[in-house]
Amino acid sequence: MNQKLKIGIIGTGTIGRVHADAYAANPAEAQIEALCDVRAEAVAAEAEKYKVPQQFTDYRQLLKSDVDAVSVCVGNALHRDVAVAALKAGKHVLLEKPMAMNSKEAAEIVAAMKKSGKVLQIGMVTRQHAEVQLARKMVEEGVLGDVYHIRVVLLRRRGIPGMGGWFTTKSMSGGGPLIDVGVHYFDAAMFVAGLWNPTAVSSNTYAKFGPLMKKYRYVSMWAGPPNFKGVFDVEDYATGYVRFGKAASMSFEVSWAVNAEDENYIEILGSKAGVRLLDGKPLKLVTEYKEQVADVMLQYQKTPNIFHVQAKKFLAACRREAPPAATAEQGCTVMKLIDAIYESGRKNSEVKIS
């Protein structure tokens, strides 16, 4: 492991700083060589913190530098352009979620990756939770038997982020909670279940809270305060049913705002065991044991920092020691699923996924 990769980070907002912290936590494997953001002062502050030699305000300039790999942490609407340019420039890419604004853009990124031969990893960091990895191991080892249904529940009662800002403006974000947090849960659900072939979606999206703007009541606001002159043209609730061929299915409920209690989990139902993840409780297999109906509580060490693990796996992938922790093809599948969810809502009927 004597190869220390030179890293560039494009975008030094909240998530870009998280990436910087993650590379800095792996000093034997990586050094942050370059930073880029349109806000020069943000670049300077971050550069001082991590002793970063090269600073840019134009990502195209950064891509001309000698960095080996880049983290793409820009706004969703720029994911495609920056990722494609980086791959063309011969850089490995760790691309933040959502992979792109839609599956068409995602496919363009995949094509660029294939042409470049470089490593592309998608920022599906929820997978790196120890309980998700452990559940995946249980499925792989056959402990769950045939997996035939997945329940995805990700309900925030009042959690619209940055009302009126880029999060709630479709042309900048690509969508609402589906794009913001749904991608993590869909990815983790398909990853654990080992089901990457969604074939059809029946769904709908609703917006009952966001359009109220000033009359939207909340307790606290992430990425706030609200900008009442801004736009809310995305969903605040989405629900539906996904087929994986005939053998399996997935139901989902995802919200930024709903008149229901906060509730989060992914539940995987198998013929031999079931498991509920990410619900803030210990991991429990609902199953049988010695021919008795039984629950099995698995002990495990929590992942201290999922971003550190993600960065470490990306670095290993760049060194060609392991595949990317989340592949471009998987990211593309998630985007196809989300496109189909929106389309099924618009058409008010089931939509097939090719």
CB of 305 to a copy of itself, least distance (A): 15
Cβ neighbours for 126, distance < 8 A, ≥ 6 positions apart = 132, 184, 185, 187, 188, 278, 306
**Chain positions contacting a copy of itself, by CB under 8 A:** 134, 138, 141, 143-146, 148-149, 151, 157-158, 200, 202-204, 206, 208-209, 217-220, 237, 239-241, 243, 245-246, 249, 251, 253, 258-261, 267, 269-274, 276, 284-301, 348-350
Are the C-beta atoms of 331 and 93 separated by less than 8 Å? Answer: no
Q: Name which of 252 and 314 has its Cβ closer to a copy of itself.
A: 252
CB of 103 to a copy of itself, least distance (A): 21
Q: Name which of 107 and 286 has its Cβ closer to a copy of itself.
A: 286
Integer-rounded Cα radius of gyration of the chain: 21
CB of 349 to a copy of itself, least distance (A): 6
Q: Name which of 166 and 265 has its Cβ closer to a copy of itself.
A: 265
Give the helix/strand (H/E) hosting 49.
helix 40-50
Query: CA-to-CA distance for 193 and 148, rounded, in angstroms?
Result: 9
CB of 81 to a copy of itself, least distance (A): 35
CB of 126 to a copy of itself, least distance (A): 21
Q: Name which of 64 and 137 has its Cβ closer to a copy of itself.
A: 137
CB of 245 to a copy of itself, least distance (A): 8
Q: Report the 10 Å Cβ neighbour count for 213.
A: 17
Q: Name which of 228 and 289 has its Cβ closer to a copy of itself.
A: 289
Backbone angles phi, psi at 310, to 5 degrees: -60, -45
Query: CA-to-CA distance for 69 and 329, rounded, in angstroms?
Result: 19
Query: CA-to-CA distance for 83 and 70, rounded, in angstroms?
Result: 9
Query: CA-to-CA distance for 124 and 307, rounded, in angstroms?
Result: 10
CB of 82 to a copy of itself, least distance (A): 36
Q: Name which of 57 and 202 has its Cβ closer to a copy of itself.
A: 202
- Strands 69-72 and 147-155 turn out to be unpaired
Give the helix/strand (H/E) hosting 108.
helix 103-116
Q: Name which of 58 and 288 has its Cβ closer to a copy of itself.
A: 288
